[in-house]
Amino acid sequence: MSLILSLLLASFFINGILLIPFIHIVYKMKFERQKQKTKDAFNIPTPIFDALHKLKAGTPLGGGLLLVITTTFLFFLSFPILYYFWIPITSVYTNIGSEIKILIFTFISFSFIGLYDDIKKVFFGTGEKFFGMRLRHKLILEVILASVAAFWLYSELKIDIIHIPFLGVVNLGIFYIPFAAFVIVSFANAYNITDGLDGLASGVLFIALCAFWVISHAILDTPIALFIAAWLGGLIAFLYFNVYPARIFLGDVGALSFGATFAIIGLLLGKVFSLIIIGGFFVIEVTSSFLQLVSKKYRGKKLMRVAPFHLWLQERGWLESTVVFRAWLASIVLSLLGLWLAFLS
């Protein structure tokens, strides 16, 4: 535990030092949120969103890129240190290499999709019909990458069951692959949707990851515990610059990567039901957006004046800081509930 805490602190200090010049670099590159009128998945203008978020234009993007790089580097650096001090590496899986491969593959590959989307938005977004990648193209790439990770979970780690508290174990067999892929894609987009207010998504993720950190430590899964520690340290440093008024945003490069990897950790820990509870705020956000899109398409009118949920609260008069702080509180309660359910099994 002392080494894991050392890794968290090292990650915090390293990211804290690097974020200052990184912000200056992306600012000089004008890699920043652009002033434009945004549109939804059906290319329909979103005037309420534009009005509430117009002051965020000009804030640098891409903080997620730095966190992906530093977290990956520190994660791999921790293994030779463990070997040097003769600290055993334990896991619930016999094939630790595959566990690490799936974790890092998801973390990095989804960041590539997000980085391309960010570049398209920043440098080519204002002159095109669609701002950034088209939704269908992004989803196709996400499904492909998620399916690869899900296939490895099934074929290499032999995961094909889910545990539902109070009901027992459900064996999905080969159908575990589409189920896991759906979970990964859902959380990737849920995080991306949630990442709309200063400190909102990163703060909720920090709290949720703490819950998974407790679970990984309890079942003695060293790779996941180390990875979460390196990730948490970076999130603390990033939140210092991301809380209101934000000096930098994650961008899609961080949002898609973080959401997908959060889901992978839940799947690797075998706590799918707890994943849904611990990440409950993300679930609320993506569900509200999905229902809004379905209502527009099939009913020809909105279900709510605006979506997702955090934007609806803003539109009703909640201050941005109020929405964020109460979302953090809700995440604490959901994480405790998820932990309780996790340890029931």
Range of the domain at 98: 2-342
Ranges under pLDDT 70 in the chain: 34-55, 125-131, 345
If one counts every other C-beta atom within 10 angstroms of the C-beta of residue 136, the result is 9
Residues 218-234: tens digit of each pLDDT: 999 999 999 999 999 99
According to the model, what pLDDT value does residue 172 have? 96
Q: Provide the terminal-to-terminal Cα distance of the chain, rounded to the nearest Å.
A: 24
**How far, in Å, are 3, 4, 31, 51, 224 from residue 87 at the CA level?**
9, 11, 42, 54, 15
Task: Write down the pLDDT at residue 51.
Answer: 64
Name the one residue in this structure whose structure tokens are 């995440």.
331
Task: From 328, 304, 300, 329, select the one nearest 315 (Cα to Cα).
Answer: 304
- In the chain, how many domains are there? 1
Tens-place pLDDT, residues 267-322: 999 999 999 999 999 999 999 999 999 998 888 888 888 889 999 999 999 999 99
> For residue 95, what are the CA distances in angstroms to 70, 157, 196?
25, 7, 38
pTM here?
Answer: 0.94
